[in-house]
Amino acid sequence: MKQIQVTQSSMPDYDTFCEEIKVLWDNRWLTNMGDKHEQLEMQLEQYLNTPNVTLFSNGHLALEYAIAAFNLSGEVITSPFTFASTTHAIVRNGLTPVFGDINPHNYTLQTDTLESLITEKTSAIIPVHVYGNICNVKEIERIAKKYNLKVIYDAAHAFGISVDEQGVANFGDASMFSFHATKVFHTIEGGALTFADNSMKRVINSYKNFGITGPGTVEYIGGNAKMNEFQAAMGLCNLKIIDQEIEKRKRVFERYIDHLGDTKGIKLSIPPDGVSSNYAYFPIVFDGYTLSRNEVYEQLKKHNIYSRKYFYPLTNNLQCYEGRFTSESTPVANFIANRVLTLPLYADLQLEEVDKICSVIKANVPIYK
Ligand SMILES: *Cc1c(COP(=O)(O)O)cnc(C)c1O
């Protein structure tokens, strides 16, 4: 029986990719901000409609180095309903994550309780546009201004999304995008930082290259997180097909809604009016359904269909943080993490496969007449 994985990487046309990388055999410039790297930065500035894009070897290091480059200190308010990367980036900089709860509507950071978490040690907020659901950016901006805090968005899931015609890359002081192979747009491994303040370009660019600012001059204690030319070439090819890929994802997404939209006890995440989605994930939350999240997960597995408990556990419940952080102060996040499942979603997933997945999910629902 054919397996259906939760995701499948987009691939550009093979010949297009070969054509794109051919020149590298001639010029032998394989990394360190070569021609492909520079082209991709420029094209992404256009695509994301944002003034500053700096590429990185992956999304995690983009976030980790952004925290360093913005010189954050003390405490950082963030969401535990995310991938380990967001919390690790804060802790690995020697800072303390302060976990805010998420709202039960779109699972992004609650803003009505945000101010109560701010202390004199707070330097920043790192919210997450989880599943591509956009945070309450206006309210976060208002609070950040009032308390003089930086805002860096984990926008790993939000590539290419716009809200009322404004590109998501323009919110806050900076946004991190992941171009990992499993993301909507990818460079195999890769990532980027977008940021508002032009004067940050120098420091951000140098952080990914050992803090070097000129020949013989090392101004910052940077590291190495440069995107290489093969990654950038993959990005250039994938950018050519990104709109079609998103369109194909949309068909899958809508098919899921057709099947599951009116199912009692299953809650969907549907993009609100004014948001152009990238259809990155299809999370469903089981709340009052005849089966539990874990039961549905196992049922699907028996049919060779692999869904994902994403995000479970919460980052404040990860084993490496035992005794240090807890999820007691984030009850909504706990509730959702125990009930959420993301269903298979990728551009080439067939609609018949979506039909099958949904029939497995609904098979055990008793029919009352
Ligand atoms: C993928 C992801 C990251 C990390 O990105 P990489 O490119 O894999 O390093 C960070 N945060 C979230 C929410 C992610 O999904």
Q: What's the average model confidence in pLDDT over 261-279?
A: 96
pTM: 0.97
What pLDDT score does 366 carry?
Answer: 52
Helix, strand, coil percentages for the chain (3-state, nearest 5): 40, 15, 45
Pick from 68, 89, 70: which is nearest to 78 by CA? 89
Burial class (CB in 10 A: 0-12, 13-18, 19+), 209: middle
CB 41 within 8 A of CB 55: yes
Q: Given ligand 1 and candidates 60, 157, 308, which is best to mutate, with the most ligand atoms within 8 Å of its CB?
A: 60
Fold of 242-361: Aspartate Aminotransferase, domain 1 (3.90.1150)
**Is residue 2 very low, low, confident or very high in pLDDT (cuts 50, 70, 90)?**
confident
Residues with CB under 6 A from ligand 1: 58-60, 82-83, 85-86, 128, 154, 156-157, 178, 180, 191
Domain ranges of the chain: 14-236, 242-361
> What is the number of the ligand 1 atom nearest to the C-alpha of 82?
13
Name the DSSP letter for residue 168.
G
Q: What's the average model confidence in pLDDT over 163-185?
A: 97
Helix/strand/coil for 150: strand
In sequence order, the 6+-apart residues with CB closer than 8 A to the CB of 273 are none
pLDDT > 60? residue 111: yes
Residue 96 β-bridge partners: 75
Report how far residue 353's alpha carbon sits from residue 340's, in angstroms, rounded to the nearest whole number: 21
pLDDT digits (tens, 9 = 90+) for 69-107: 999 999 999 999 999 999 999 999 999 999 999 999 999
Triad 68, 72, 74: Cα angle to 5°: 125
Residue 176 β-bridge partners: 154, 193
What pLDDT score does 365 carry?
Answer: 57
pLDDT > 50? residue 369: no
What pLDDT score does 133 carry?
Answer: 97
pLDDT digits (tens, 9 = 90+) for 12-49: 999 999 999 999 999 999 999 999 999 999 999 999 99
CB 256 within 8 A of CB 282: yes
Q: What CATH number is given for 14-236 in this structure?
A: 3.40.640.10
Report how far residue 187's alpha carbon sits from residue 168's, in angstroms, rounded to the nearest whole number: 20
What pLDDT score does 336 carry?
Answer: 98
Question: How high does pLDDT run on average in the chain?
Answer: 97
What pLDDT score does 322 carry?
Answer: 97
Total residues found in the chain within this entry: 369
What the block records as the tokens of 96 is 């303390």
pLDDT > 60? residue 368: no
